[in-house]
Chains A and B, each alone.
Chain A
Amino acid sequence: MQPKTSLRRIAKGTVVQFGFVLGAILIIYSSFFDWQSRDHWGVLSAYTLLTILSTFTPVRLSNTILTVNNAVIFSGILLFGTSVGVWCAVIEALIISSLTRVNVIKAAVNIGQLVMTIWTVGFLKDWIVSINAISPILADLFLAVVYWLVNLILCGLGISYFYNKGWIETVKEMAKGFTSTYLLLMVLAGVGSRLVESHGLLTLIPMMIAFITISYVFHQYYSNVQKLQQKVEEIKTFNHRFLTTMAASIDARDHYTSGHSQRVAHWAREIAKAIGLSSEKVEEVYFGGILHDIGKIGIEDRILNKKGKLTPEEYDQIKQHTVIGYDIILQAGMFHELLPAIRSHHERMDGKGYPDGLKGEDIPLMARILAISDAFDAMVADRPYRKGLPVEDALQEIRRGAGTQFDSELAQHFIRVVNQLSREELEKIIQQDGHETKQLQEVID
């Protein structure tokens, strides 16, 4: 596997570092003769101005910033041919490399991919013109798509090489971010070019106004989206803090189990990650862990903090915490997604658990995850009246309970997760109590 990967990387490196740069040199050299022609000087200066302007006129998208250079280059190709497009690319590269500290190889590769895109589109345009079979509008649309596609593929290849990522996934990621706006700008450039062709250079003025307006609208729109996202984040943070505070207050009532909810939440999250749940689900499971014992608020102190063995009646009362917690959250009208965690985390796979005696798959996944985390923490954590079990023994118990008390597949995942940790990390997590929530968070993250 290893040699194949490195061979692929060497091939990619050769194409990117030599192929792209060689391509750039050849294409720029061939354009050079067109630049010498007196007829082109006016166009070159106009496109220099346009390039300067467009380099600093970004269109802001939600996750990236797109400059309109490609649109300018595209219009250059359509109106005056490949050499004008290449000129714009060279001018842009000159500006960017003088303004930013650039890596020479990366800059060369970047201009390589750009001029190769330009050359391909220019070549296709000449071919389409020569066969004269497609209407100009369709041809422009087709060329815009080709420009986008070739640019994406070559750019993706460069990025995947420099950042050591898969080519296809890089291209997909890039395409997801800005395709629609990119194509919109290219199509506008095409329309603008045809207008200039038929009505002269003055049509550039309304075109520029259109560009600036679009840029402004996007800017406004995405800054509003960003503000909204910020608000959502704030609310999320508030919820997290609120839940963590709840957990701390639950644990504070139960003197024997300081930090229990935090640790259970931590282990539950690890299991959720191990079985490949989505990041949102993983977070849900974590907060399920944080709140799973909230019902203990409704248990008398006398019973909750009783030293020594509980009577069957007292034990029955303790068992009520699942239902009490469920009712509290139900009434609160918030965090409904966490209800199964609170009600069913003491259910058993064989149906002998409480409060509902659910069996097997009927027990919600979150509750099955929490059952293991809860049992494990209860076993290994030190209590004032007894020392915690050694981790190996606790895992043995989990193994023994797999299939009857616990979901056997989840138990397997959990055992693997714990075994992957070093002794030190494990101790650090087990020893955390509620007062050190922050450190626990750090350990987790």
Chain B
Amino acid sequence: MLLDVICFSFIVALLRGGRVKELPKFYKVGLLVGSIILQVCAAFFSKWSGVFISVAYVLILGFFVFNRQYEDMRIFMVGWFLNALAIWTNRGKMPIDLEQAKRLPYDLEPVINGTNFKHSVLTEASNLPFLTDVIYMPSIIPRVISIGDIFIMLGAFLLVQRLMNKPISLLQLREGKSYAAKN
């Protein structure tokens, strides 16, 4: 899903002289695995997909909370939380704006007839519409994203910089310092 963002982040990190030396240790990886399993289950048991996806989002949020000592994880947390709000209040599916989605080269049939396990059509009845997938992003891979996704992309970018040993601290940027000291 974030393939282009991650590739772009890697290129930036490489240009900044970053190299992967060691992978960071994440805590409670089980939560992440659990969430993936739930999402797979959602694809197979469409009747219960809303519940599976809603719980999967709780698990991922839990994973971010346990790894919150890193700024990238906290930015992920904000993004995931905003998306989760949209999903939880819309029966476990992320509404997508058809007007924007029609510009995508994908088949929207499953979304329209309700068989897509993750997305539903954004209607007047949808809750928190401003947090759903309403922004058309033309490149690098065209997609319709939500405001939460903007944070997730930023989090992914920061995570890659940290993986490549060139972390950027947003807080230090805010304090007028250029880059984070290496952890």
Contact = CB atoms under 8 A, between A and B. Distances in A.
Chains A and B are bound partners: yes
Contacts, number: 51
Interface in B5-58: none
B175 A99 contact: no
A238 interface: no
B138 interface: no
Interface in A54-110: 55-58, 60, 65, 67, 94-95, 98-100
Contact of B176 (A44, A45, A48, A65): A65
B173 A56 contact: yes
Interface string A192-222: 0000000000000000000000000001000
Nearest to A45: B135
Interface in A218-266: 219
B104 interface: no
Interface stretch (B69-77, B86-94, B113-121): B69-77
Contact of B170 (A36, A56, A60): A56
A49 interface: yes
A275 interface: no
B173 A99 contact: no
A42 B135 contact: yes
A60 B176 contact: yes
Contacts of A40: 130
A438 interface: no
Contact of B174 (A36, A44, A45, A67): A67
B65 to A, nearest CB: 11
A94 B150 contact: no
B111 interface: no
B78 A65 contact: no
B112 interface: no
A56 B129 contact: no
A52 interface: yes
Nearest to A65: B176
B163 interface: no
Given A56-B174, A65-B174, A99-B74, A35 B150 contact: no
Given A48-B150, A98-B78, A55 B130 contact: no
B79 to A, nearest CB: 10
Interface residues of A, number: 24
Contact of A36 (B77, B129, B147, B173): B129
Given A41-B130, A52-B154, A58 B174 contact: yes
A325 to B, nearest CB: 48
B160 interface: no
* Most A C-beta atoms less than 10 A away, residue of B130, B150, B170: B130
Nearest to B175: A65
A48 B147 contact: yes
B58 to A, nearest CB: 17
B176 to A, nearest CB: 4
A49 B154 CA distance: 10
B166 to A, nearest CB: 16
B2 interface: no
A38 interface: yes
Given A52-B150, A65-B174, A44 B74 contact: no
Contacts of B71: 99
B164 interface: no
B152 interface: no
A219 B134 CA distance: 37
Interface of A: 35-36, 38, 40-42, 44-45, 48-49, 52, 55-58, 60, 65, 67, 94-95, 98-100, 219
Which 3 A-B pairs rank lowest in CB-CB distance, beginning with the nearest? A56-B173, A60-B176, A35-B130
10 contacts: A35-B130, A40-B130, A41-B129, A45-B147, A55-B174, A58-B173, A65-B174, A65-B175, A94-B78, A219-B176
Given A57-B173, A95-B75, 4 more contacts: A48-B147, A60-B176, A65-B176, A100-B171
